[in-house]
């Protein structure tokens, strides 16, 4: 196969847009590309993609579970890149090393690290890409980059009033080196950070268009439902599998150390098969703790009084005593269903 030229690679990469990488905060370039296929793979490594129609896709490496981190990441990059918010959308980044959290060093969502640990590198990366776009426009107009600025997804030549959309500059910008110390967008020009912005993930969750693991369908896919021992430390002693195997669509019953699983050609058939089983559990070494016992112990601790931390910003020089009994409200265990790709796990606890 003939190796792709730098020009061919940039044209191919431009279909995916300008490719922004974090940690190190630099634009992804053509270094390892040897074919159109590898160029497509490289395109997947970018954090920000500016398409030919002007649409901007920002990738997020933080799971969106109600805290709005994906939108916050988009706000940071949108301000540093000076984007038109109406053109911005977000997608989850692939679980690959190049998308690891810059602060944690892993692909993870915890400890408020999505923003706090990535704010500085995200700003720098956005500023680098903005500088590269300005440089590409300056080359096009044959003017000093210092005469150029940006405005809502466009590069502006201030003396002449000329404008070029980012989408027109993608190929040239992708070929320019990233500046080591780009000028960050001054706070007075922030239009998204610190503002009450509608979350980008909500429309798809409201109208049902958002895709989740449980929505994935592949040819020949089977679904498993799992019934775990109701006590931690318990083990599966025995189970008669015939009732489940007699249900249409059930393919197999799998015995596990502390659970039993039913595999079928669909969730509801697997669930029906699981409900038909009556496993016997060996609780010899199982935990004897229950939610009611935890509730009682917490309630007793609260009613016994004691010392609590003083209110925030208090000037108290001594701990504040707890004088009024309060009702403990522990989070009791409950039945839950956690979906994932190619399986549905049903967990029972008491």
pLDDT-derived band at 136 (thresholds 50, 70, 90) equals very high
- Residue 119's pLDDT is 92
Across 21-30, 54-63, 176-185, 227-236, the highest mean pLDDT is recorded for: 227-236
pLDDT-derived band at 14 (thresholds 50, 70, 90) equals very low
Residue 175 and residue 135: Cα distance in Å, rounded? 11
- Residue 111's pLDDT is 87
Read off the pTM: 0.63
Q: Edge-to-edge, what's the strand order for the sheet holding 88-92? A: 48-50, 56-60, 88-92
Residue 57 and residue 90: Cα distance in Å, rounded? 5
Residue 166 and residue 150: Cα distance in Å, rounded? 9
Query: Minimum mean pLDDT among 44-58, 103-117, 147-161, 248-262: which range?
Result: 44-58
pLDDT(134) > 50: yes
Task: Indicate left, alpha or beta for 256 from its phi (over 0: left) and psi (-120 to 50: alpha).
Answer: beta
pLDDT(100) > 50: yes
Give the residues across from 307 on adjacent strands. 321
Taking residues 65-78, what's their average pLDDT? 92
Task: Tokens 């917490």: give the residue.
Answer: 298
pLDDT(24) > 50: no
Q: What is the mean pLDDT of the chain?
A: 79
Give the residues across from 170 on adjacent strands. none
3-class DSSP state of 260:
strand
Taking residues 196-204, what's their average pLDDT? 91
- For 175-178, the CB contacts below 8 A with 24+ separation are 175/6, 175/10, 175/29, 175/30, 176/27, 176/132, 176/135, 176/136, 177/132, 178/25, 178/26, 178/27, 178/128, 178/129, 178/131, 178/132
**Do residues 70 and 60 make contact, with C-beta atoms less than 8 angstroms apart?**
yes
Residue 324 and residue 259: Cα distance in Å, rounded? 45
| pLDDT tens digits, one per residue of 33-46 | 333 323 322 232 36
- Residue 226's pLDDT is 97
pLDDT-derived band at 153 (thresholds 50, 70, 90) equals very high
pLDDT-derived band at 259 (thresholds 50, 70, 90) equals very high
- Residue 165's pLDDT is 94
CB contact burial 55-79 (16+ within 10 A = b; e otherwise): ebbbbbbbebeeebbbbbbbbbbbb
Please give the structure tokens belonging to residue 120.
């500085």
3-class DSSP state of 245:
helix
Residue 290 and residue 266: Cα distance in Å, rounded? 33
3-class DSSP state of 53:
coil
pLDDT(18) > 70: no
pLDDT-derived band at 12 (thresholds 50, 70, 90) equals very low
């Amino acid at each position: 196969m003939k190796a792709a030229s730098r020009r061919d690679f940039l044209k191919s990469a431009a279909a995916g847009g300008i490719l922004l990488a974090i940690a190190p905060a630099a634009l992804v370039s053509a270094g390892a590309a040897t074919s159109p296929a590898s160029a497509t793979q490289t395109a997947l490594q970018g954090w920000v993609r500016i398409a030919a129609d002007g649409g901007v896709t920002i990738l997020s490496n933080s799971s969106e579970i109600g805290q709005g981190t994906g939108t916050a990441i988009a706000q940071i990059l949108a301000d540093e890149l000076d984007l038109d918010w109406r053109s911005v959308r977000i997608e989850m980044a692939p679980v690959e090393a190049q998308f690891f959290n810059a602060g944690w060093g892993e692909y993870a969502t915890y400890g408020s690290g999505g923003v706090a640990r990535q704010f500085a590198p995200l700003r720098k990366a956005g500023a680098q890409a903005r500088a590269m776009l300005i440089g590409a426009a300056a080359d096009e107009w044959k003017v000093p980059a210092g005469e150029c600025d940006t405005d809502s997804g466009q590069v502006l030549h201030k003396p002449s009033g000329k404008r070029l959309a980012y989408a027109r500059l993608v190929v040239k910008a992708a070929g320019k080196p990233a500046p080591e110390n780009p000028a960050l967008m001054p706070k007075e020009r922030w239009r998204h950070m610190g503002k009450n912005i509608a979350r980008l993930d909500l429309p798809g969750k409201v109208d049902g268009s958002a895709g989740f693991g449980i929505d994935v369908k592949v040819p020949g896919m089977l679904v498993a439902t799992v019934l775990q021992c109701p006590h931690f430390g318990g083990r599966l002693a025995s189970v008669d599998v015939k009732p489940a195997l007699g249900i249409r669509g059930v393919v197999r019953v799998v015995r596990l150390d502390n659970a039993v699983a039913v595999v079928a050609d669909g969730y509801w058939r697997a669930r029906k098969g699981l409900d038909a089983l009556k496993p016997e559990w060996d609780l010899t070494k199982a935990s004897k703790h229950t939610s009611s016992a935890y509730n009682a112990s917490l309630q007793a601790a609260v009613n016994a009084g004691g010392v609590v931390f003083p209110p925030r910003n208090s000037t108290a020089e001594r701990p504040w005593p707890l004088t009024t009994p309060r009702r403990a409200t522990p989070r009791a265990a409950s039945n839950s269903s956690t979906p994932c790709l190619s399986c549905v796990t049903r967990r029972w606890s008491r």
